[in-house]
């Protein structure tokens, strides 16, 4: 009979007991971590499944998909917002389609009225047959109109601050200042030609500065106008629009931009007029060349000259003098 000699050290039963103690400690720790996580994942999966079930049941009754915007800027007429929303509904739109929001996103990006699209989402509504696709976006606001030569005697095209041409029929032309007695919210309401104006408000035409003398031909609607001349014209328009006398500036004249007619005349001019009164020629000159080293007076100093004239002459620019020259370190104007 052969005998096996047990080696010295821990007994065979001691090793399992030690491992078992460590294992029990590990299992207790794991239970504190894994079980809550597992319960959380299970609950989340259950909620997702329930949400998906409710969405499917609700979507079965949807027959109409509408587009709505999360916000509408003050300048935009309600009728225009509704028209754009209708144009952004895809043909044969189905709420359950996986590509519904993607298709609406593409249509919004292609709209001449939409500058940037931030988010598109869809949801059910309180109406069982109607679902919404909501769009968070930034709209293009008309800031000026461009005079274009045409055989019929000329016409106007409207642009935003980035020189993108906008659909003329959508541009607001009328503004109504409402009062509490008008049975409407107090404030400004904007309307297009053809819209029904509410009674009881003060109606006035929306003022757009005209840009005259653009060299490039008009682009298609939704595309930017090309040329440095219109870019500088819009730069000047943006400086004017922030001032109290913006409604007195009727025209930004860029016919002589870069001295293309005469290098001795101002490259940029503005004209001020109130009603049918006398016109005042405001000689702006040009913007300094980028990079420095240019002796041209800065646009900020030029506009401060105009601000001072406005305040010193009873908040009036037009009709008091035949010209105001902003091209020098000090203000110059005619003596008449």
**Pair 297, 328: CB distance under 8 Å:** yes
Residue 238 has pLDDT above 80, yes or no: yes
**Pair 225, 265: CB distance under 8 Å:** no
Give the pLDDT of residue 185: 67
Domains of the chain: 64-139 (3.10.20), 141-207 (no CATH), 227-336 (no CATH)
Q: What are phi and psi of 158, to 5 degrees?
A: -100, 145
Between 157-166, 180-189, 199-208, 303-312, the lowest mean confidence (pLDDT) is in: 180-189
* Interval 53-96: pLDDT, tens: 444 555 678 889 999 999 999 999 999 999 999 999 999 999 99
**Pair 175, 142: CB distance under 8 Å:** no
Could you give the CA distance from residue 202 to residue 172 in angstroms, rounded to a whole number? 16
Residue 167: burial class (beta carbons within 10 Å; 0-12, 13-18, 19+) = middle
**Buried/exposed 81-107: b ≥16 CB within 10 Å, e otherwise:** bebbbeebbbeebebeeeebbebbbeb
- Hey, which residues does 145 pair with through a beta bridge? 158, 210
Residue 19 has pLDDT above 50, yes or no: no
Structure tokens belonging to residue 259:
């001295």
Could you give the CA distance from residue 130 to residue 69 in angstroms, rounded to a whole number? 16
- Tell me the pTM: 0.80
Residue 187: strand, helix, or coil: strand
């Amino acid at each position: 009979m052969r005998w096996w000699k047990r080696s010295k050290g821990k007994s065979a039963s001691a090793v399992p007991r030690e491992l078992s103690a460590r294992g029990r400690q590990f299992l207790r720790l794991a239970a504190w971590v894994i079980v809550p996580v597992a319960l959380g994942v299970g609950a989340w999966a259950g909620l997702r499944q329930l949400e998906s079930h409710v969405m499917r049941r609700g979507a079965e009754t949807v027959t109409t998909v509408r587009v709505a915007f999360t916000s509408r800027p003050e300048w935009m007429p309600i009728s225009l917002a509704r028209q754009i929303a209708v144009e952004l509904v895809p043909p044969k739109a189905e709420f359950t389609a996986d590509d519904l929001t993607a298709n609406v996103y593409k249509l919004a990006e292609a709209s001449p009225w939409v500058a940037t699209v931030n988010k598109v989402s869809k949801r059910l509504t309180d109406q069982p047959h109607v679902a919404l696709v909501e769009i968070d976006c930034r709209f293009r606001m008309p800031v000026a109109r461009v005079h274009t030569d045409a055989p019929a005697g000329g016409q106007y095209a409207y642009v935003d601050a980035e020189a993108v041409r906008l659909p003329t029929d959508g541009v607001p032309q009328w503004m109504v200042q409402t009062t509490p007695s008008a049975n409407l919210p107090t404030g400004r309401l904007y309307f297009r030609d053809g819209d029904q104006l509410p009674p009881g408000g003060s109606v006035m035409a929306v003022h757009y500065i005209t840009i005259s003398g653009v060299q490039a031909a008009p682009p298609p609607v939704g595309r930017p106008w090309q040329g440095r001349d219109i870019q500088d014209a819009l730069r000047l328009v943006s400086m004017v629009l922030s001032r109290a006398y913006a409604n007195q500036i009727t025209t930004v004249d860029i016919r002589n931009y870069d001295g293309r007619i005469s290098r001795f005349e101002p490259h940029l001019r503005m004209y001020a007029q109130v009603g049918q009164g006398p016109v005042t020629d405001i000689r702006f000159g040009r913007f300094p060349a980028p990079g420095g080293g240019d002796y041209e007076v800065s646009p900020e100093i030029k506009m401060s000259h105009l601000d001072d004239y406005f305040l010193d002459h009873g908040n009036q620019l037009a009709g008091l003098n035949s010209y105001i020259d902003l091209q020098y370190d000090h203000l110059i104007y005619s003596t008449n």
